[in-house]
Chain A
Amino acid sequence: MHFFDRIAKIDRRIIFLLIGLAVIIPLIAPLGLPVDITAPVKSVYDRIEAMPEGSIVVVSIDYDPGSEAELYPATLAFLDHCFRKNHKVYMMGLWAPGITLGNIAFQEIAPKYNKEYGIDYINVGYKPGGAVMLLTLGRNVADVVATDYQGLPIDSFPLGRMVKNSRDMDLVMTFSAGDPGILHWIIYFNARFGTPIAGATTAISAPRQYPYLSSGQLLGLLGGLKGAAEYETLVGRVDRATAGMDSQSIAHVVIVLFIIMGNIILVWEHRRKK
Chain B
Amino acid sequence: MCISLFDMFLIFLILVKGISVNAYDTPNDDGSSVTVSWESDIPYSSILILRSEQKDGVFEPICEARVGRNDYQDTLIVRGTFYYYQIKAMTDEGEIISAITGPTVASVQVFNTGRLNIFVAIIILFAAILFYISRAKREKLFIRKIPALAAMDEAIGRATEMGKPVLYVPGIMDIDDPQTIASMSILAKVAEKTAAYGTTLYVPTARAMAMSMAQQVVKEAATKVGRPDWYIADNIRYLTDDQFGYVSGVDGIMLREKPATNFYLGVFYAESLILAETGHSTGAIQIAGTAMPDQLPFFVAACDYTLLGEELYAASAYLSQEPVQLGSLKGQDLGKLIFIFVILAGVIAGIVGFQGFYNLFISVH
Q: How far is the CA of A72 from the CA of B153 in the complex (A)?
A: 45
Residues B230-265 near A (CB distance < 8 A): 242-244
Please tell me if B365 contacts chain A, counting CB pairs below 8 Å: yes
Report if B293 contacts A (CB, 8 A).
yes
Contact B293 A52 (CB under 8 A): no
Give the chain B neighbours of A67 by CB distance below 8 A: 270
B69 and A167 within 8 A (CB): yes
Q: Restricting to A153-205, which residues have a CB under 8 Å from any CB of B? A: 165, 167-168, 170, 177-179, 191-194, 202, 204-205
CB–CB A207/B269 < 8 A: no
- A204 in contact with B365 given A167-B69, A179-B173 (CB within 8 Å): no
Q: Who on chain B is nearest to A130 by CB?
A: B176
Cβ of B322: which chain A residues have Cβ within 8 Å of it?
none
- Is B365 a contact of A178 with CB atoms below 8 Å? no
Decide: A208 and B242 in contact? CB cutoff 8 A.
no
Q: Does B195 count as interface, using CB distance less than 8 angstroms?
A: no
A66 within 8 A of B: yes
In the complex, chain B residues 69-94 whose Cβ is within 8 Å of any chain A Cβ: 69, 71-73
Contact A191–B363 (Cβ < 8 Å): yes
**B182 lies within 8 A of chain A by Cβ:** no
- Inter-chain contact A66/B270, CB cutoff 8 Å: yes
A66, B293: Cβ atoms closer than 8 Å: no
CB of A66 within 8 A of CB of B244, answer yes
A202–B73 CB distance below 8 A: no
- How many residues of chain B get a CB closer than 8 Å to chain A's CBs? 21
Closest to B67 in A: A52
Contact with B along A206-231 (1 / 0, CB 8 A): 01100000000000000000000000
Q: How many residues of A contact B (CB 8 A)?
A: 23
Dominant secondary structure of chain B at its interface with chain A = loop
Question: Would A202 and B270 be within 8 Å (CB), given that A64-B242, A66-B243, A66-B244 are in contact?
Answer: yes
Is A271 positioned at the interface, with any CB of B under 8 Å from its CB? no
A208 touches B243 (CB 8 A): no
Of the candidates A52, A194, A202, the one whose C-beta lies within 8 Å of that of B365 is A194
User: What B residues does A273 contact at CB under 8 A?
Assistant: none
Q: Determine whether B359 belongs to the interface, using a CB cutoff of 8 Å to chain A.
A: no
In whole Å, how far is B264's beta carbon from the nearest beta carbon of chain A? 16
Please tell me if A9 contacts chain B, counting CB pairs below 8 Å: no
Residues of A within 8 A of B243 (CB): 64, 66, 178
Nearest A residue to B65, CB-CB = A167
In chain B, positions 269-310 with a C-beta closer than 8 Å to chain A are: 269-270, 281, 293-295
Given A52-B68, A66-B243, A177-B269, check contact A208 B363 (CB 8 Å).
no
Closest to B241 in A: A96
B267 at interface, CB cutoff 8 A: yes
**20 A-B contacts (beta carbon < 8 Å):** A52-B68, A54-B66, A55-B68, A66-B243, A67-B270, A165-B73, A167-B73, A168-B66, A178-B243, A178-B270, A179-B173, A179-B177, A179-B267, A191-B363, A202-B270, A204-B294, A204-B295, A205-B294, A207-B294, A208-B294
Given A177-B270, A204-B270, 13 extra CB contacts under 8 A: A52-B67, A55-B68, A66-B244, A165-B73, A170-B68, A178-B243, A178-B269, A179-B267, A179-B269, A191-B363, A191-B365, A194-B365, A204-B269
Interface residues of A (CB under 8 A from B): 12, 52, 54-55, 64, 66-67, 165, 167-168, 170, 177-179, 191-194, 202, 204-205, 207-208
Which residues of B does A touch, CB under 8 Å? 66-69, 71-73, 173, 177, 242-244, 267, 269-270, 281, 293-295, 363, 365
